[in-house]
Amino acid sequence: MITINKIITELNKYSKNICTLYPGVQDEEIIGLEKKLGFTLPTSFKTFLKECNGFELVSDTIYGIHQKKNLDIYKNYLWEKNESNNPLWSHLIPISPDGSGSHYCFDLKTLTNDNNECKVVYWQYDYDFDDDDPPDVETETFFDFLWELLERIKETNNYDGSDK
C-alpha cells in the first residue's frame, strides 16, 4: 500500500539540485482552498499538502497552495477553466502539468463517499471531451498517481540527478 510516508521518503532521496519540496501547510489554508474552489478535496491530497505543499522534481510538478502561479493549484484551476482555449470541466482540478499544455487532474465526480479518494484523469488541452468520451483515468488514487510518477522518474534519473 502506498502511504504518504513512503512517498515523502522516496522524494527525500533525491538531490536538492533536482528536487524542491515545499513545506507543508496548515489546515486553515486547505480549508481556504476548498472554499475558493467550491469543492471538497480528497483526504489523501489534504494529507499530502500538510506534509509537502507540492514539489518540483526534474521536469515534473505537483501543485500546492502558492503565491507563484505556476505552482498554485487554484490559480491553475482558474486559468484552465476560464481562459484556456479548451476550458477544463468544473469538477476537474489540475494537480500536475504534463509540460505541453495538458494536465493530470482530480475528477471530483469520482470522490468516494468518505471523501478519501478520487480518480486522477488526464485532460488533454487540444481534445474535445464529452460525456460519452471523457478524459482517460490514469490512476484510481492520488497516492498511486504520485508513486507512478516517482517510478517513471526513477527509470531515467538517479537520485543525485544524473541520467541513467
SS3 of 57, please? strand
Q: What is the pLDDT of residues 76-117, one digit of tens each?
A: 999 999 999 889 999 999 999 999 999 999 999 999 999 999
| Alpha-carbon span 68 to 8, nearest angstrom | 23
Q: How many domains, in total, are found in the chain?
A: 1
Task: Give Cα 121 distance to the centre of its chain.
Answer: 10
Helix (H) or strand (E) holding 6: helix 4-12
How high is the pLDDT of residue 122? 98
- Cβ count within 10 A of residue 100: 9
| CATH code of the domain in which 10 resides | 3.40.1580.10
Do the domain assignments include residue 20?
yes
Q: What is the pLDDT of residues 24-79, one digit of tens each?
A: 999 999 999 999 999 999 999 999 999 999 999 999 999 999 998 899 999 999 99
Give residue 30's domain range.
4-150
| Alpha-carbon span 113 to 98, nearest angstrom | 29
